C-alpha cells in the first residue's frame, strides 16, 4: 500500500560513514576544485556530475530522501566553493533552486503523506545567497559555450575566430561534441526550472508558456540521450560491463558524491546507501514526468465539477508520480477556489444544475453549505493523491458526505417546512436546497463507485471475491444513475414527487428516448456489472468454478472486510451479505442467457456513440465497454455449450474476462 519494511534504506539507516563532515571530505579531496588540471578531464567530470545529479533527482522524486540523493553532492553542500568554476557553479545554483521549488509545491499541496521523506530537508540549507540569480548565471554560461560551439564550427577561413575564443578543452576534434553535450544539459535545466515556475502561477496563467518550455525540455532530453554515445566513445577506461546500471552517460563513476556524508550532520538522516536510478532510467522518468505535466498544461480548466472529476480520474490512469500530482492539485485548488478563480459554491450550484443567478445567493453563508464546500475541496485534493492513499481517504470521507446530507436535510426542514407556505425568495432557497440535496447523494455514490474501482486497480480482491464486488458495484451504480437522472429531470422542471422506488423504472432506461446520454452511459456499466455478477454466480453454483475455500475467514467476514466503510455510511441502503446471497444463490446459465445483459450493454454503447462524437475519452471508454461485453458474450455462449456436453467441466479452467471491471470507470 505505502508501507516501509524493516531494513528499507529509507527507514533503517545503518552506521557506515566514510567522512565525519563535509570539511573532512573536502580536505581529503573528495570534491576537488578545479576538478582536474587536464581541461578535457575537467569537462568530462563536470558532465558526469550533471548526469549523476539527474539520476539522484529522479530517485528523490520516487520517494527517497533529499539528503541521500541530490544533496549527496558535496559541491551542492558548499556552493560558494564552486564560484571559480563558472559551469559547475551555475549548474549547482539552478539545482538548488529547482529542489526548493519542488519541495515548496509538494509541501503546499500536502500530496506527500505517502512519501513523508520527500519534503524533509534534514537541516540542509535549500536556499543560499545568490540562488535567485541562478538563471542569470546559467544564461551567461550557456552563451559562452554557444560561442565556443559556433567557433569550432567555423570554416577554415575563419580560424582566427577560434583563436579569439578559448575552447573548453585542447582537443579540437572533441570540442563540438562536448559543447553540444553541455548545452543540452544546461538548456534542459533552464527550461525545466521555467516549467516549474510557470505552473506555480495562479489561475493557470502560466500553463501555455509552461507547455512551450516542456516542448523544449523534451527536445533537450533527446539531445542529452544522443550525447551518450559520444561521451562513451570519448571516455577512456570506461567499463562496458553493467553500463545500463551506471548513473552517468559515460559510464564512469562521478566525482564529488558521498551518500553517507549527511548521516553525521543532521539526524535522523538515513545514511545507508540506496540504489539510485540509472542514467537511462532517470531520462525515462523525466520524459514521463514532462508528459504528465504537459497533460495538465493542456487541460481546458473546465468550470464544471463533473468535467474536473473525469479529467482527474483519466489523468490518474497514467499513474503519475508525486511531482505531477502535486502540480495538478496546485492548479485545481488555490485559495479555497477552483483554479483560484471560481468560488466553490458557484461550482456546487453549477454541478447541482441550478440557475446561474443562484451562485450569489446568501444561502452560501449557511454553516452546512460552507462545510459542504470544504468537503468538495477535500475531495479534489484526495483524488490527486496516489491510488492507495486515495482509496483509504475516500473510504473515510464517505461517512462525512452522508452526515452532511443528513445535516442539510434537517436544516432544510427546520427553516422551510412545507414549501407552499413561503414567499418566492424562500421558495428559491427551497429549490437550492432540493437540488443540492439530490446532488450530494449523487456525489456520495460517485465516491463509493470510485472507492470500489480502486480496489481492482490495487489488486485488493481475489478472483473468488469478484462476484460480491461486482454485485456491490452494480448496486452503487444503480443508485448513482437514479440520483443523476433525478437531478437532471428536476432541473428541467419535469420531476414529479413519487413515493415509489425508481429502480424498476431504470431497468428499461435504454428504451426511453428522453433519457440523457450520460444516464445511458451509466446504464451500460450497470448491465455489465449485473451480467458479470450473475455469470460468476452461475459458475459457482453450477460448475463450482471460483469457489476455492477461504482459509482464514468466511465469505461473510470477507464481505464485511471489503465493504465495512460503505456499510457504515449505508451505501446503498438496506444492502447486506444476506441480500447478496439471496440475489446470487439461484443464478443459473439458462436465466443468464435469457436475459443477456452483455448484449444490452453492447446495444446501449452503440446507441450513444453519436452523442459523444466530440468527446474522445468517452468514445474510447465506449469502445472498451463494447469489447468487454463482446468478450463476455462469447464466454457465456461457450460455457453454456460446454456445460451441456460435459458435466465434468467443474475440473477445468474457464477463460472468462473477469478483469473487465477495470473498464467500469466514470
HEC secondary structure over 373-384: HHHHHHHHHHHC
Percent with pLDDT over 90 in the chain: 49
Q: What is the mean pLDDT of residues 581-607?
A: 87
pLDDT digits (tens, 9 = 90+) for 345-404: 999 999 999 988 888 888 888 899 999 999 999 999 999 999 999 999 999 999 999 999
pLDDT in the model for residue 657: 45
pLDDT in the model for residue 533: 92
pLDDT in the model for residue 130: 65
Distance, CA of 546 to CA of 389 (rounded, Å): 30
pLDDT in the model for residue 653: 46
pLDDT in the model for residue 268: 53
Q: Same domain for 365 and 434?
A: yes
- pLDDT at residue 310 tops 90: yes
Q: Same domain for 485 and 423?
A: no
State the pLDDT confidence band at 455, using cuts at 50, 70 and 90.
Answer: very high
CA 321 to chain centre: 6
Whether 471 is covered by a domain: the verdict is: yes
**Of residues 255 and 118, more confidently modeled:** 255
State the pLDDT confidence band at 475, using cuts at 50, 70 and 90.
Answer: very high
Whether 152 is covered by a domain: the verdict is: yes
Q: Same domain for 399 and 420?
A: yes
Whether 195 is covered by a domain: the verdict is: yes
pLDDT in the model for residue 53: 96
Mean pLDDT of the chain, nearest integer? 83
- pLDDT at residue 643 tops 80: no
Distance, CA of 472 to CA of 463 (rounded, Å): 15
Q: Same domain for 59 and 199?
A: yes
Distance, CA of 75 to CA of 544 (rounded, Å): 66
State the pLDDT confidence band at 170, using cuts at 50, 70 and 90.
Answer: confident
- pLDDT at residue 600 tops 60: yes
pLDDT in the model for residue 7: 53
Distance, CA of 512 to CA of 600 (rounded, Å): 14
Number of domains in the chain: 3
State the pLDDT confidence band at 442, using cuts at 50, 70 and 90.
Answer: very high
**Of residues 378 and 615, more confidently modeled:** 378
Contact of 254 with 260, CB cutoff 8 Å: no
What residue has cell string 424498476?
504
**Of residues 118 and 150, more confidently modeled:** 150
Percent with pLDDT over 70 in the chain: 81
Q: Same domain for 76 and 173?
A: yes
pLDDT digits (tens, 9 = 90+) for 88-112: 999 999 999 999 999 999 988 876 5
**Of residues 546 and 303, more confidently modeled:** 303
Whether 367 is covered by a domain: the verdict is: yes
DSSP state of 253: P
pLDDT digits (tens, 9 = 90+) for 22-38: 888 888 888 888 888 88
Domain ends where: 460, 480, 514? Answer: 460
pLDDT in the model for residue 591: 81
**pTM for this model (two decimals):** 0.87
Which residue range forms the structural domain that includes residue 476?
463-496+506-666
Q: Same domain for 426 and 542?
A: no
Q: Same domain for 436 and 472?
A: no
DSSP state of 123: T
H-run or E-run covering 337:
strand 337-338
Q: Residue 144 is placed in which grid cell?
A: 559562452
For residue 58, give the nearest of 49, 48, 69 by alpha carbon: 69
Q: Residue 35 is placed in which grid cell?
A: 576538478
- pLDDT at residue 224 tops 80: yes
Task: Count other C-beta atoms under 10 Å from residue 512's C-beta.
Answer: 13
pLDDT in the model for residue 645: 63
Q: Residue 267 is placed in which grid cell?
A: 539526524
For residue 274, give the nearest of 545, 601, 56, 1 by alpha carbon: 56
pLDDT in the model for residue 11: 52
Q: Same domain for 470 and 521?
A: yes
337 bridge partner residues? 334, 343
Phi/psi at 337 (5° precision): -125, 155
Q: What are the start-end ranges of the H helices in 5-38?
A: 22-27
Cα separation values, 384 from 138, 244, 336, 389, Å: 34, 33, 16, 10
Contact of 149 with 138, CB cutoff 8 Å: no
| Residue 201, burial from CB neighbour count under 10 angstroms (0-12, 13-18, 19+) | middle
In sequence order, what are the residues at sequence separation of 6 or more whose Cβ sits closer than 8 angstroms to the Cβ of residue 4? Answer: 10, 11
Contact of 436 with 348, CB cutoff 8 Å: yes
Q: What is the mean pLDDT of residues 277-291?
A: 96
pLDDT in the model for residue 420: 45
Q: Same domain for 91 and 215?
A: yes
Q: Same domain for 613 and 468?
A: yes
Distance, CA of 32 to CA of 25 (rounded, Å): 10
In sequence order, what are the residues at sequence separation of 6 or more whose Cβ sits closer than 8 angstroms to the Cβ of residue 621? Answer: 663, 665
3-state DSSP assignment of residue 354: coil
pLDDT in the model for residue 114: 53
State the pLDDT confidence band at 151, using cuts at 50, 70 and 90.
Answer: confident
Whether 326 is covered by a domain: the verdict is: no
CA-based torsion, 416, 420, 422, 423: positive or negative = positive
H-run or E-run covering 102:
helix 86-109
For residue 66, give the nearest of 57, 53, 74 by alpha carbon: 57
Q: Same domain for 579 and 634?
A: yes
pLDDT in the model for residue 651: 45
Q: Same domain for 59 and 156?
A: yes
pLDDT digits (tens, 9 = 90+) for 485-544: 999 888 776 344 444 444 455 544 444 447 889 999 999 999 999 999 998 898 888 777
Amino acid at each position: 500500500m505505502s508501507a516501509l519494511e524493516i531494513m528499507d534504506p529509507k527507514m533503517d539507516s545503518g552506521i557506515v560513514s566514510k567522512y565525519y563532515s563535509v570539511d573532512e571530505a573536502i580536505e581529503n579531496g573528495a570534491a576537488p576544485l578545479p576538478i582536474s588540471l587536464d581541461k578535457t578531464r575537467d569537462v568530462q567530470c563536470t558532465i558526469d556530475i550533471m548526469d549523476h545529479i539527474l539520476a539522484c533527482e529522479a530517485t528523490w522524486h520516487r520517494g527517497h530522501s533529499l539528503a541521500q540523493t541530490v544533496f549527496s553532492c558535496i559541491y551542492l553542500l558548499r556552493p560558494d566553493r564552486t564560484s571559480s568554476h563558472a559551469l559547475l557553479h551555475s549548474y549547482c545554483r539552478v539545482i538548488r533552486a529547482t529542489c526548493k521549488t519542488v519541495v515548496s509545491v509538494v509541501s503546499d499541496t500536502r500530496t506527500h503523506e505517502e512519501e513523508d521523506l520527500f519534503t524533509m530537508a534534514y537541516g540542509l540549507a535549500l536556499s543560499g545567497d545568490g540562488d535567485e540569480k541562478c538563471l542569470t548565471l546559467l544564461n551567461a554560461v550557456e552563451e559562452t559555450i554557444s560561442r565556443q560551439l559556433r567557433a569550432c564550427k567555423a570554416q577554415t577561413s575563419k580560424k582566427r575566430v577560434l583563436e579569439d575564443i578559448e575552447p573548453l578543452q585542447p582537443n579540437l576534434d572533441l570540442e563540438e561534441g562536448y559543447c553540444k553535450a553541455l548545452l543540452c544539459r544546461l538548456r534542459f535545466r533552464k527550461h525545466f526550472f521555467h516549467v516549474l515556475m510557470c505552473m506555480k502561477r495562479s489561475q493557470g496563467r502560466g500553463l501555455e508558456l509552461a507547455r512551450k518550455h516542456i516542448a523544449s525540455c523534451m527536445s533537450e532530453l533527446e539531445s542529452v540521450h544522443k550525447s551518450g554515445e559520444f561521451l562513451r566513445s570519448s571516455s577512456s577506461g570506461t567499463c562496458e560491463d553493467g553500463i545500463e546500471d551506471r548513473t552517468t552517460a559515460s559510464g564512469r563513476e562521478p566525482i564529488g558524491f558521498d551518500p553517507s556524508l549527511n548521516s553525521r550532520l543532521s539526524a535522523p538522516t538515513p545514511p545507508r546507501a540506496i540504489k539510485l536510478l540509472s542514467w537511462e532510467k532517470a531520462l525515462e522518468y523525466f520524459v514521463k514526468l514532462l508528459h504528465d505535466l504537459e497533460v495538465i498544461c493542456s487541460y481546458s480548466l473546465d468550470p464544471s465539477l463533473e468535467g474536473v472529476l473525469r479529467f482527474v480520474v483519466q489523468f490518474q490512469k497514467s499513474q503519475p508520480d508525486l511531482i505531477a500530482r502535486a502540480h495538478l492539485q496546485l492548479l485545481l485548488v488555490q485559495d479555497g477556489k477552483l483554479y483560484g478563480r471560481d468560488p466553490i459554491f458557484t461550482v456546487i450550484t453549477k454541478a447541482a444544475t441550478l440557475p446561474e443567478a443562484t451562485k450569489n445567493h446568501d444561502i452560501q453563508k449557511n454553516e452546512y453549505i460552507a462545510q459542504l464546500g470544504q468537503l468538495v475541496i477535500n475531495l479534489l485534493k484526495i483524488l490527486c493523491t496516489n491510488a492507495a492513499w486515495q482509496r483509504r481517504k475516500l473510504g473515510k470521507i464517505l461517512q462525512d458526505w452522508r452526515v452532511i446530507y443528513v445535516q442539510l436535510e434537517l436544516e432544510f426542514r427546520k427553516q422551510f417546512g412545507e414549501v407552499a407556505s413561503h414567499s418566492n425568495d424562500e421558495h428559491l432557497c427551497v429549490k437550492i436546497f432540493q437540488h443540492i440535496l439530490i446532488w450530494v447523494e449523487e456525489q456520495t455514490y460517485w465516491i463509493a463507485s470510485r472507492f470500489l474501482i480502486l480496489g481492482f486497480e490495487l489488486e485488493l480482491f481475489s478472483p473468488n471475491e469478484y462476484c460480491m464486488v461486482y454485485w456491490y458495484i452494480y448496486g452503487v451504480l444503480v443508485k448513482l444513475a437514479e440520483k443523476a437522472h433525478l437531478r437532471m429531470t428536476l432541473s428541467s422542471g419535469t420531476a414529479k414527487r413519487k413515493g415509489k422506488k425508481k429502480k424498476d423504472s431504470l431497468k428499461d432506461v435504454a428504451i426511453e428516448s428522453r433519457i440523457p446520454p450520460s444516464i445511458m452511459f451509466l446504464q451500460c456499466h450497470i448491465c455489465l456489472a449485473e451480467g458479470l455478477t450473475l455469470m460468476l454466480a452461475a459458475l459457482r453454483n453450477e460448475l463450482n468454478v471460483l469457489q476455492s475455500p477461504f482459509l482464514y475467514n468466511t465469505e461473510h467476514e470477507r464481505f464485511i472486510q471489503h465493504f465495512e466503510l460503505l456499510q457504515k455510511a449505508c451505501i446503498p441502503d438496506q444492502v447486506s451479505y444476506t441480500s447478496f446471497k439471496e440475489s446470487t444463490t439461484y443464478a443459473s446459465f439458462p436465466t443468464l442467457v435469457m436475459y443477456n445483459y452483455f448484449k444490452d450493454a453492447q446495444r446501449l454503447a452503440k446507441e450513444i456513440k453519436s452523442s459523444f462524437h466530440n468527446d474522445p475519452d468517452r468514445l474510447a471508454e465506449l469502445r472498451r465497454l463494447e469489447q468487454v461485453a463482446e468478450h463476455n458474450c462469447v464466454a457465456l455462449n461457450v460455457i453454456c455449450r460446454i456445460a451441456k456436453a460435459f458435466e465434468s467441466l467443474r475440473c477445468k479452467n474457464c477463460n472468462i474476462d473477469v478483469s473487465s471491471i477495470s473498464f467500469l470507470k466514470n
